């Protein structure tokens, strides 16, 4: 991760942590049950107790590139922590649902639940705060 400058004077929020997710640095992530093939760049920052994340697909593959191609820019997912991550994932599996994105990255288990048809947005669950155990790549 690298830290981007404090943009709070122009946007009201920041500083941003910048990171890339690729098949090489996220071998435990799966898109629709298959190993992730696409790469993305993301920027994250905290505003109070809410994490904001901006995601840019770096190629035409993956869940985020598909979203842009089908719907254009907008809210892709909303993330919430759950005290029973494994139980929620198991429940989805028992229902026969394929998770749009699942696995682990930076020591955090994540799963995108297929809620977009019912809620109009994907619900992401996670087992902890991303990057909590990891130092940024650059300051």
One digit per residue, the tens of pLDDT, for the chain of length 139 reads 444 555 555 667 889 999 999 999 999 999 999 999 999 999 999 898 888 999 999 999 989 999 999 999 999 999 998 889 999 999 999 999 999 999 998 888 999 999 998 998 999 999 876 554 444 443 3
Structural domain boundaries enclosing 59: 2-126
Q: Is residue 139 in a domain? A: no
- The helix (run of H) or strand (run of E) holding residue 55 is strand 50-57
Q: What is the pLDDT of residue 130?
A: 53
Question: Does residue 82 sit within a domain?
Answer: yes
In the chain, the number of structural domains is 1
Nearest alpha-carbon partner for 29 in 127, 84, 99, 97: 99
CATH (domain of 23): 3.10.180.10
Looking at the domain assignment, is residue 91 inside a domain?
A: yes
Whether 134 maps to a domain, the answer reads: no
SS3 16: coil
Q: Please tell me the predicted confidence (pLDDT) of residue 15.
A: 92
Give the pLDDT of residue 57: 96
């Amino acid at each position: 991760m690298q830290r981007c400058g404090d943009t709070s004077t122009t946007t009201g929020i920041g500083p941003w942590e910048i990171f890339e997710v690729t098949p090489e640095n996220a071998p435990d992530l799966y898109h629709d049950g298959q190993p992730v093939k696409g790469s993305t760049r993301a920027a994250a920052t905290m505003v109070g107790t809410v994490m904001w994340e901006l995601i840019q697909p770096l190629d035409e593959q993956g869940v985020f590139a598909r979203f842009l191609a089908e719907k254009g820019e907008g809210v892709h997912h909303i993330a919430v922590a759950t005290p029973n991550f494994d139980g929620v994932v198991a429940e989805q599996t028992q229902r026969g649902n394929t998770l749009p994105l699942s696995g682990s990255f930076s020591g955090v288990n994540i799963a995108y639940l297929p809620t977009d048809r019912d809620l109009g947005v994907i619900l992401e669950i996670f087992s902890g705060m991303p990057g909590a155990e990891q130092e940024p790549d650059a300051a």
